[in-house]
Homo-oligomer: A and B are copies of this chain.
Amino acid sequence: MFIRFITTGGTIDKIYFDATSQYEVGESHVKHILSEGLVNFDYDLVPMFQKDSLEITDENRQALKEFIENDDASLYVITHGTDTMVETAAKLSSISGKTVILTGSLSPARFKTTDAIFNIGMAVAAVQSVEPGVYLVMNGQVFAEGEVCKNSSANRFEKIGESGSGT
């Protein structure tokens, strides 16, 4: 089994520089998480961009889609900011014959308390278990692309229509 991990930034990789009192997106924590998870499969890690997901452009999404289409792997885990993860999933939905899991975290991987490790674990299990297609993995659930939204007020991902409060 081979999994290609692609990092695009987002909360999961945010770090904090004291001098500026600004959060910025840092080097990915994914490799460290896989090492702690004692994973025993082949993988590599492609840092595509390092952005807050509100700043990801259509050009970025197009480039991401073309990268995957032209690449020779069949299993992908993409770490991504939560605010536009749904939009990126929609953009990637026309990719055929490959399994693509998007995930991220609601608190940074560098925090003592974080959902990042759990979510990367979920993504790794999902990518080898589901049918080819595009999926989101967050909040303990594996969502097919198109059936999920971020409920911003509750700060979590939900099936569309489930709580009535998604946007």
* B residues less than 8 Å from A152 (CB atoms): 19
Flag whether A118 is at the interface (Cβ < 8 A). Answer: yes
Nearest Cβ in chain B — how far from A74, in angstroms? 16
Q: From known contacts A122-B122, A122-B124, infer whether A141 and B37 are also in contact, taking CB-CB under 8 Å.
A: no
Residues 9-28 of A at the B interface (beta carbon under 8 Å) = 11, 14, 16, 18-19, 21, 23
Chain A 108-126, CB-CB to B under 8 Å as 1, else 0, gives: 1011111101111111111
* B residues less than 8 Å from A11 (CB atoms): 18
In this complex, how many residues of chain A approach chain B with their Cβ under 8 Å: the count is 50
Complex: chain B residue closest to A124, CB-CB:
B140
Flag whether A93 is at the interface (Cβ < 8 A). Answer: no
Which single member of B21, B36, B128, B140 contacts A37 (CB below 8 Å)? B140
B120 touches A118 (CB 8 A): yes
B155 touches A19 (CB 8 A): yes
Q: How far is the CA of A125 from the CA of B48 in the complex (A)?
A: 25
Q: How far is the CA of A115 from the CA of B118 in the complex (A)?
A: 10
Flag whether A129 is at the interface (Cβ < 8 A). Answer: yes
The 7 sampled A-B contact pairs (Cβ below 8 Å) are A14-B16, A23-B23, A37-B118, A39-B139, A110-B112, A122-B122, A122-B124
> Which A residues form the contact surface with B (CB < 8 A)?
1, 11, 14, 16, 18-19, 21, 23, 33-34, 36-41, 52, 82, 106-108, 110-115, 117-126, 128-130, 137, 139-142, 152, 155-158
Q: Which 3 A-B pairs have the closest CB atoms?
A: A121-B121, A39-B140, A37-B118
